[in-house]
């Protein structure tokens, strides 16, 4: 069970990291520049309604079994909430703060990095939290079908050998690991965004 | 060549609504010179284009016609030599008091050691020593506005533009802040362009009061305030000037 937990955890961390980097970068671009938005939004709006689970067959055709399709699915699941929250955060940068930065002498890249990004940070963090939750669910789904290792595979395996107790143990493990990841992220968030806290 | 610090020449600005093409004239042929170290207040009814004027001077809005000159040089984009203070402070909530104050010097790549000195100096000037590491969420309205003023001053601007800076403060804090602003102004000798709703505030603070009329904003009257500092609100000259201007404004509102 520990081996499978480690395998699942590793997959989700890799998938989530890729989703975080790609989602945040694209989100910043789409939320800040009109042109990026006009170019990318149509594509995203078509891909977004497709449930990650609907990608499983294609993921297996492309990547076979194991690590890569699982990471791919986690990325898919985590990417959209991270992206959309980043876009939302960038778009809702207070106009006053942008103006004040300009009158203090900020160049356009300074406005982006010293005003836009920090002001979007709470929204980005919310996206990461939602993203890791969805990513974890997608991982288990991917392992149920397209894998021969990991926690999802494990519960499916004990289902086939009719060992209900071990299946439940696997389920609990999925719950516990998910909870731990979520709270770790929450800790990071509280640390980074302490300035939001009211006295 | 004029000797004025800030010259505002023939500024006109109108906004057209996207639908229907209705055009609102916010400002029409506005002219004003602000001398070095002069404190000029702009008063007038709501919607007479006071804020628009300040934004044009700051470079945040583009004038339809006319131009703004600083030391005889035309300015069109925002720049650190014109510091702006908003009514609602507009502090960066993720930066503490020091972080907010040094924002400008940081952008201009002032070395870190010097930034520390600048922060210390201006935080002390606005009376916030001991609060260097507090975040905006922990500050009262009056303290926030002090930070905003210190932040604008930390760039050592030539002109300070203030858009109803004390408008959202309670009356006690407000008169306290007025006193402190005068102290800072006398200390730093900046030219100030100060937009306010309050005639009393204008009479208390400024060397000259420019009264705007509404729709479109044009200069209706300019008053020179001959009273010496510090001014007393119960002084006869103070009261009569205040009444005179107030009467003129209410006439405008009718």
Q: Do B107 and A199 count as a contact with CB atoms less than 8 A apart?
A: no
User: Distance from B97 to chain A by nearest Cα, in Å?
Assistant: 12
Residue keyed to tokens 């703060």: A97
Q: Does A105 contact B at CB distance below 8 Å?
A: yes
In chain B, residues with a C-beta closer than 8 Å to the C-beta of A110 are: 107
- A131 pLDDT more than 90: yes
pLDDT at B252: 65
Mutate to test the interface with B, among A92, A98, A100, A125 (most CBs of B within 10 A): A100
Each of the 254 residues of chain B gets a pLDDT tens digit; together they read: 567 889 998 888 888 776 667 777 888 888 999 999 999 999 987 777 888 899 999 999 988 888 999 998 999 899 999 999 998 899 999 999 999 999 999 999 999 999 999 999 999 988 899 999 999 999 998 899 999 999 999 999 999 999 999 988 888 888 888 998 999 899 888 999 999 989 999 999 999 999 988 777 788 889 998 888 888 888 888 999 999 988 888 776 55
pLDDT tens for residues B18-58?
666 777 788 888 899 999 999 999 998 777 788 889 999 99
Q: Summarize pLDDT for A23-45 with one digit per residue, the tens.
A: 999 999 999 999 999 999 999 99
Judge whether residue A197 has pLDDT over 70: no
Residue of B nearest to A110 (CA): B107
B203 Rama class: left (phi>0) / alpha (psi -120 to 50) / beta: alpha
pLDDT at B44: 82
Residue of A nearest to B84 (CA): A103
Query: Cα-flanking dihedrals φ and ψ of residue B229, to 5°?
Result: -90, 150
Q: 3-state SS string over B182-250?
A: HHHHHHHCCEEEEECCCHHHHHHHCCEEEEEECCCEEEEEEEECCCCCCCCCCCHHHHHHHHHHHHHHH
> What is the number of other CB atoms lying within 10 angstroms of the CB of residue B45?
17
Q: Choose among B82, B137, B138: nearest Cβ to A103.
A: B82
pTM of the model: 0.86
Q: Does A191 touch chain B (CB under 8 A)?
A: no
Greater confidence, A3 or A89? A89
Of A103, A104, A195, the CB nearest to B93: A195
pLDDT in the model for residue A199: 42
Cα B192 to chain centroid distance, Å, stands at: 6
Residue A22 has pLDDT above 90, yes or no: yes
Candidates B82, B137, B155; nearest CB to A195: B137
Chain A, nearest residue to B133 by Cα: A195
pLDDT at A128 over 90: yes
Q: In the predicted model, is pLDDT for residue A127 greater than 90?
A: yes
Q: Of A103, A110, A198, which is closest to B137 when you measure between CB atoms?
A: A198
Residue B2: per-residue pLDDT? 64
Taking an 8 Å cut-off on Cβ atoms, the answer to whether A197 and B137 are in contact is: yes
Task: Work out how many CB contacts closer than 8 A connect A with B.
Answer: 74
Q: Output the pLDDT for position B253.
A: 57
Q: Are B86 and B92 in contact (CB under 8 A)?
A: no
Query: What is residue A141's predicted lDDT score, i.e. its pLDDT?
Result: 85
Average pLDDT rounded to a whole number, residues A12-24: 95
Euclidean distance between CA atoms B109 and B127, whole angstroms: 26
3-state secondary structure A58-85: HHHHHHCCCHHHHHHHHHHHHHHHHHHH
Q: Give per-residue pLDDT as tens, A72-99.
A: 999 999 999 999 999 999 999 999 999 9
User: Interface pTM (ipTM) of the complex?
Assistant: 0.87
Are B59 and B75 in contact by the 8 Å Cβ rule? The answer is yes
Considering only CB atoms, B88 lies closest to which of A96, A103, A104, namely A96
User: In B, what residues contact A, Cβ < 8 A?
Assistant: 55, 58-60, 78-80, 82-84, 86, 88, 90, 92-96, 103-104, 106-108, 135-138, 151-152, 155, 161
The nearest CA of chain B is from the CA of A97 a distance in Å of 6
Predicted local confidence at residue A198, as pLDDT: 53
- Give the pLDDT score at A193: 87
Give the integer Cα–Cα distance in Å for A113 and A116.
Answer: 6
Q: Which of A96, A110, A196 lies at the smallest CB-CB distance from B90?
A: A96
CB contact under 8 A, B86 and A100: yes
Helix spans in B11-92 (H): 50-58
CA distances from A72 to A9, A11, A13 (A): 14, 9, 12
């Amino acid at each position: 069970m520990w081996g499978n937990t480690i395998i699942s955890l590793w997959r989700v961390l890799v998938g989530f990291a890729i989703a975080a980097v790609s989602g945040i970068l694209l989100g910043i671009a789409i939320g800040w520049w009109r042109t990026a938005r006009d170019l990318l939004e149509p594509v995203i709006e078509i891909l977004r309604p497709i449930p990650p689970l609907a990608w499983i067959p294609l993921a297996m055709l492309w990547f076979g079994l194991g690590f890569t399709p699982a990471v791919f699915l986690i990325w898919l699941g985590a990417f959209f909430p991270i992206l959309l929250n980043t876009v939302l955060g960038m778009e809702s940068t207070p106009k006053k703060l942008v103006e004040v930065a300009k009158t203090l002498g900020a160049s356009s890249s300074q406005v982006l990095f010293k005003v836009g990004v920090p002001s979007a940070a709470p929204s980005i963090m919310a996206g990461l939290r939602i993203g890791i939750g969805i990513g974890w669910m997608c991982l288990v789904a991917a392992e149920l079908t397209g894998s021969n290792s990991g926690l999802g595979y494990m519960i499916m395996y004990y289902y086939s050998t009719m060992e209900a107790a071990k299946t439940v143990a696997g389920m609990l493990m999925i719950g516990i690991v998910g909870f731990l990841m979520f709270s770790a992220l929450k800790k990071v968030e509280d640390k980074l965004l302490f300035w939001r806290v009211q006295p | 060549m004029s000797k004025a610090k800030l010259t505002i020449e023939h500024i006109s600005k109108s906004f057209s609504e996207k639908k229907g093409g209705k055009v609102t004239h916010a400002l029409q042929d506005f002219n004003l010179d602000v001398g070095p170290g002069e404190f000029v207040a702009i008063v007038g009814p709501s919607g007479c284009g006071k804020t628009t004027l300040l934004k044009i001077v700051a470079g945040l809005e583009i004038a339809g016609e006319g131009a703004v000159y600083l030391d005889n040089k035309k300015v069109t984009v925002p720049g650190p030599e014109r510091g702006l203070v908003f009514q609602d402070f507009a502090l960066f909530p993720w930066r503490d008091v020091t972080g907010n104050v040094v924002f400008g010097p940081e952008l201009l790549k002032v070395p870190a050691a010097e930034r520390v000195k600048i922060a210390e100096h201006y935080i002390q000037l606005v009376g916030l020593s001991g609060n260097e590491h507090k975040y905006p969420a922990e500050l009262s309205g009056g303290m926030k506005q002090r930070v905003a003023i210190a932040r604008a001053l930390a760039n050592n601007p030539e002109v300070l533009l203030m858009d109803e800076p004390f408008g959202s403060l309670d009356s006690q804090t407000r008169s306290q802040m007025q006193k402190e602003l005068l102290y800072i102004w006398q200390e730093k000798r900046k030219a100030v362009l100060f937009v306010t709703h309050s005639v009393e505030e204008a009479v208390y603070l400024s060397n000259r009061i420019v009264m705007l009329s509404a729709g479109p904003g044009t200069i209706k009257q300019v008053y020179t305030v001959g009273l010496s500092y510090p001014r007393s609100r119960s002084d006869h000259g103070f009261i009569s000037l205040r009444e005179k201007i107030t009467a003129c404004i209410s006439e405008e509102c009718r």
